[in-house]
Amino acid sequence: MITFEREFDCYKHWDVKINRSIATLYLNVSEKEGIRPGYELKLNSYDLGVDIELNDIVQRIRFEFPVVKVVVITSSQDKNFSAGANIYMLGMSEHSWKVNFCKFTNETRNSFEDSSKSGSLKFIAAINGICAGGGYEVALACDEILLVDDRSSTVSLPEVPLLGVLPGTGGLTRLTDKRKVRKDLADIFCTNADGVRGKKALDWKLVDFIAPPSKFNDLVDKRSMEIANNVKLRNGKEGIKLLKLKCQIENDNINYETISCALNRDKRIAEITINGPKVSDVCDINSIIQKGCDWWVLKFIRELDDLILNLRTNELEIGVLTIKSRGDIEHINKVTETLVSHKNNWFINETIGFMRRTFSRLDISSRSIFTIVDNKSCFGGFLSELLFSADRTYMLNNSLKDNNKNGPFISLCKLNFELLEMVNGQTRLQTRFNEDKHKLENLENITNRILNAEEAYKNDLITVIPDDLDWKEEIRLSIEERTSFSPDALTGLEANLRFPGKESCETKIFGRLSAWQNWIFNRPNASSEKGALKLFGTGTKAKFDNKRV
């Protein structure tokens, strides 16, 4: 079973040095410590285990070291920054592993850019050796790329000529959309396995600064301090220690403190229940910081993030997630008001950022999502985002029974309109209503109002509102129908319907990953016994089917 929690002092592949406002991460991959057996991680190549550690390190820096403003990513190996994703790992892995690996590394890279945009950490890649494939894609996700000009250090994306696949963590999109590299130069760059060095890399916009070896460390220090001076929301005095999650995993259950998940593998369903905040979680900012990682909001987001990754990696045949909540809607509304009121506090900013990235991880998971609102629900405040993450939302309509006096209820909050954007750069409500400004203004006017099923449905916030007589049967039939469809067809359906309208760099990356890389990884040109991935390093040339399809 793959787990995603790590301990700060026990990393196998990274060395971390923190000097006041600068954190330097040295990649030093332990060759024999792959997350699965059967390959060696030579030349600072990486697998999922290396990236899990990177994700954990950056997350801990966000919360545990609030004085850090800039993260420098470099290598401690001589003349070798990173050879990228380990080819032998990819060649021997099943298709689902390759795709989930690419998706997680994508999310980790995107998290750099998300932090940078939100007033949090900035990132610098200090390339001090050969930098290829996924190694260069780490650099592309950073705010600046510095390259040592020593006549041997290069940057490259050699996947097409060497492996018969694409740069799998957004490399092509970041070249053209983010770094504005000319498409003809990008074409030469991505079909040349030898890479580009020095001044040409600078001229082609592949890097931002170069320096000879004697001046490279000075360049890194200068750029780090200059960038650090522009970071606004990293001004805390004491950090929040991220203690180990309390998680019990049994045969058919995954239980945390704020979330429980019941697995029905026969029916391919995961039933997720969120236990909302208690009255003790409704407190002022000083008490929140004192609670630290025991504060309900941070605890919940950490647990939800861990659960999504757990299900995605270890429960491949679970196709439908149902999401319920239990608690007092007033409590979640008040907790959310505190988040909004203190959004410029460093800790609250990091918590909201973690929330934004976790909900986005849910959006792009290849799972159908049904959110279910019943009498015990508390889908108010920021939990109401889960109404709009869902492919469908069902809400019990008690109008015939008691005029909805006892609920269920939902409510909107200010965070539905800002700070929790999807990877398309828009809020879920903007996406839901295709940026209909009149509709969004009307919804803003009912922020914090408690809405029953008929009111929620009238405002287009709910998909279906069955009455008490039809409630269980309609949900049962909908879920059974969903699980009867082709998982491949559903993945394509959901990926298209969840992100209508405007594209962003991130939606392009994930869309192209889902479509093109999925297809290419399955094709014999890459993955057959005579494919480029399988034969890499053997000295035997791959045999391609030359038909263009």
What is the DSSP code string of 12-41? SSEEEEEETTEEEEEE---TT--SSSS---
Given this model, what pLDDT does residue 303 score? 98
Q: Sorting pLDDT into bands at 50, 70 and 90, what band is 105?
A: very high
Mean pLDDT of 161-187: 94
In the block, residue with structure tokens 């029916």:
267
Backbone angles phi, psi at 292, to 5 degrees: 60, -130
| 327 contact partners, CB below 8 Å, separation of at least 6 | 274, 275, 276, 277, 278, 376, 378
Alpha helices in 147-245 (DSSP H): 159-163, 171-173, 183-190, 198-203, 213-228
Q: Is 130 helix (H, G, I), strand (E, B) or coil?
A: strand
Given this model, what pLDDT does residue 515 score? 76
Judged by average pLDDT, the poorest of 105-119, 140-154, 421-435, 504-518 is 504-518
Q: Measured between alpha carbons, how far is 256 from 272 in angstroms, rounded to an integer?
A: 11
Return the closest-CA partner of residue 164 out of 87, 57, 105, 102: 87
Q: How confident is the prediction for the chain on average, in pLDDT?
A: 95
The domain spans of the chain are 14-228, 251-495
Half-sphere exposure of 534 (CA within 13 A, CB side): 16
| 66 contact partners, CB below 8 Å, separation of at least 6 | 234, 235, 236, 237, 238, 239, 346, 347, 350
HEC string of 53-82 equals HHHHHHHHHHHHCCCCCEEEEEECCCEEEE
In the block, residue with structure tokens 């014999």:
524
**Cα angle, residue 133 at apex, residues 131 and 139 outer, rounded to 5°:** 60
At 273, which amino acid appears?
A: T
Beta bridge partners of 30: none
Mean pLDDT of 485-499: 92
- pLDDT by residue (tens digit) across 15-53? 999 999 999 999 999 999 999 999 999 999 999 999 999
DSSP annotation of 177? I
- Residue 155 pLDDT exceeds 70: yes
Mean pLDDT of 389-394: 98
| 533 contact partners, CB below 8 Å, separation of at least 6 | 87, 90, 91, 163, 164, 165, 526, 527
**What's the N-to-C CA distance of the chain in angstroms?**
38
Q: Measured between alpha carbons, how far is 332 from 380 in angstroms, rounded to an integer?
A: 6
Q: Does domain 14-228 have CATH number 2.40.10.10?
A: no
Do 347 and 288 contact (CB within 8 A), yes or no? Answer: yes
- pLDDT by residue (tens digit) across 57-66? 999 999 999 9
- Residue 403 pLDDT exceeds 80: no
- Residue 404 pLDDT exceeds 80: no
Q: Measured between alpha carbons, how far is 47 from 102 in angstroms, rounded to an integer?
A: 10
Beta bridge partners of 58: none
Q: Measured between alpha carbons, how far is 52 from 509 in angstroms, rounded to an integer?
A: 20
Return the closest-CA partner of residue 520 out of 533, 503, 508: 533
Q: Measured between alpha carbons, how far is 274 from 260 in angstroms, rounded to an integer?
A: 7
In the block, residue with structure tokens 């269920």:
408
- Examine domains 14-228 and 251-495 and report if their fold is the same: yes
Instruction: Give the CATH H-level superfamily of domain 251-495.
Output: 2-enoyl-CoA Hydratase; Chain A, domain 1 (3.90.226.10)
For the chain, the residue count is 549
Given this model, what pLDDT does residue 517 score? 80
